[in-house]
Amino acid sequence: MKNPWLSYTLIRLSLFFGVFLALIALQFNTFFAAIIAAAVSFAISLVFLDRQRKAMSQSVAEKLARNTSGTYEDKENDLENDLMDSEADKKDPGADQDPKA
């Protein structure tokens, strides 16, 4: 998968539910099965999901990286702002002009 957040989250959830359903099949109490499944899936993810965790960490680092001027570069936000500005210009083409001029 291209999105590290999605892949890591889906793997973690499938680990949890796999262990949880196995414990329920063994007739554990639902509350304790959930606690044990959370602990076991957490331990398994720490050992075996290092690559996915690093990819997700890199994704966060890239999202929060600052450029040389000290501001954040958010391409998605810039694109959204450009679209909003173009839609505002279509509705009110004289909005950018100074009314006193």
Written as one string, the DSSP assignment of 36-84 is HHHHHHHHHHHHH-HHHHHHHHHHHHHHT-B-TTS-B--HHHHHHHHHH
Scan for tokens 């892949």, then name that residue: 7
- pLDDT score for 1: 60
- pLDDT score for 15: 96
The pLDDT confidence band at residue 75, using thresholds 50, 70 and 90, is: low
Res 49 pLDDT > 60: yes
pTM (2 decimals)? 0.61
